[in-house]
Structure 1
């Protein structure tokens, strides 16, 4: 039985693609282990899946000055020693890294032990952790065509692994969950738990006009429900949607979303026409702006920059995308990288094969 070590953490975006790989890896007979941080979100998510979890120390790699920068190099060094010990004991055939700070010592330790490594980068430009870790990788799987120019010959366009359950949603169940009683098309709004204030505000200010055409299902983030709008017929708010998310997706005719890479991968895989409002550079390193620009260039999305967001522009963009929904859907369905799960699985099989393992990273 072949052994694979998955790693990645810090945010759900560094974990959920790993989780998406689990059913196929299990079906193919892999013995799966996970290396993550001691306190990160990945520990709880992975342990729910019944995967053996090995916790190591992890220091954050910051581009700005803080006193924590004095401590964190020692955490990284200690994490490297812990990862080296775990990998030496497990002896995996391959390591798959989804990124995040905890992945750096794991990838570097794997390279020292001559264990082949695959990295996945979701955003157009690699983050700092993946930039460092890429030196130890045999292959770098990417989500956007533009990323290939940043990662060189190791790069391969795979798309992002998508959880199988997202494809099994039921439209009728989604409508019932949202307590919608008419047949108007459904606008699904996902602002994200972070940076959702501006999207939530613009959406609510535009509700009266939007509700003339659409039902609106609004996943507004923890603590962001506004009960003043409960009286609006056709408008349903949720802080968060978990197991029912596939049904909500199935019910959606159009989406308004931020431009996080994993959310975009799901939108494309499910072929949902969409309007994107990427986080501004004031709130991020600008990766969402680049992600959204790529989506628009490929014909998948219409983009409104956060600085330009207003009621009139928002309503106009949503109505325009909905009027051309079939065009957007058809373009996304033709995408050849939307089966990210199988594409990544095939790279794992290739890199872990005996003839490939003997080659240097």
Structure 2
């Protein structure tokens, strides 16, 4: 049996899929896998670190505003469709699993033409445009938030299931003691982890740098700066450690963190929630703000929305968290109760059941 995965654009579209693959391998080691992603996207680099074969195709983004690129990207989508069709015909997978992103759309449409069963996972609060374009072809749609089903078109609700967001199993093995030993000089210090997503986040990076003059020795900040790392590396100092990306040390680092400052991608929220972290979210407009707002209403996170993201507001939010142990524990506990930590295993089992029909 063979399963094709598709999706890309950000790590949030790739890592959850890899978590499902790992869970499936544990259940049935005989299954083969492949991944279809954008030929110039970051997903190829991520898959290059795994044993899952990667196939690159052209991809185009449909923008909901006037842009000349909308015209050229239509041709990229068409080309990507035929490339995906050839890949699927050549590899003959028994099922296609889509994690979303615009590269997934031509793959889903090609799979439908090839009469391959299609499963979709939506991480965010509401179905994104790519998944809305794919939903009609899907046999099952898994979602991270229960309200996603209520917001969806009635014609899709019967095939939607709330199972949560897949989480990388390796992160759950993080060791708090090892992480704190690696980054702190004194045990009583508080560790703030700043994660701007797989591509980094300039707005968050700039806020952190502006905050540094007011930071006390009681606080240690470890900061993933992303692809703009060279701009922020010169600010490195005692108690502030900028780094472009984290690899093997990430699990211990998250486990060690007292506060995590992050964008509000659903994949990251699920992982931090599973590890019971107190979150300060700085969402982008759109789906991320929807994700953050729902969690804030549940009193599970603190949020600094785009319109509020001044240095003064940021400092106030950070100070409130680092000086309130009880609040941090309450946020971490509440968020953990909203997370379904076994999503990847449950999704993997449903896929296996489908393959065995």
Distance 1:169 1:353, change over 3 A: same
Aligned residue pairs, count: 346
Q: Which residue among 322, 329, 333 is the counterpart of 1:330?
A: 333
Q: Name the structure 2 match of 1:97.
A: 98
Shift of 1:263: 1.3
Shift of 1:187: 1.8
Question: Which moved further from structure 2: 309-318 or 121-130?
Answer: 309-318
Shift of 1:112: 2.2
How much is the aligned-residue C-alpha RMSD, in angstroms?
2.4
Distance 1:291 1:207 in 2: 28
Shift of 1:193: 6.1
Distance 1:64 1:321, change over 3 A: farther
Q: Name the structure 1 match of 2:239.
A: 234
Residues 179 and 236, structure 1, Cα contact 8 Å, conserved in 2: no
Q: Name the structure 2 match of 1:305.
A: 305
Shift of 1:290: 0.7
Distance 1:218 1:352, change over 3 A: same
Shift of 1:225: 2.2
Residues 116 and 352, structure 1, Cα contact 8 Å, conserved in 2: no
Residue correspondence of structure 1 range 1-361 to structure 2 within 5 A: 2-27=1-26, 28-29=28-29, 30-151=31-152, 152-192=157-197, 196-207=201-212, 209-211=214-216, 213-221=218-226, 222-225=229-232, 227-228=234-235, 230=237, 233-279=238-284, 281=285, 286-309=286-309, 310-311=311-312, 312-319=315-322, 322-335=325-338, 337-354=340-357
Shift of 1:234: 3.1
CA deviation digits over 1:150-171, x for unaligned, max 9?
A: 3322221122211111111222
Distance 1:204 1:79 in 2: 41
1:124 partner SS: coil
CA deviation digits over 1:134-155, x for unaligned, max 9?
A: 1110111111222112332222
Residues 174 and 250, structure 1, Cα contact 8 Å, conserved in 2: yes
1:288 partner SS: helix
Shift of 1:210: 4.6
2:55 partner SS: strand
CA deviation digits over 1:275-329, x for unaligned, max 9?
A: 11212x3xxxx11111111221233211122322333422344236643222223
Question: Which moved further from structure 2: 140-149 or 182-191?
Answer: 182-191
Structure 2 residue runs without a partner (length 5+): none
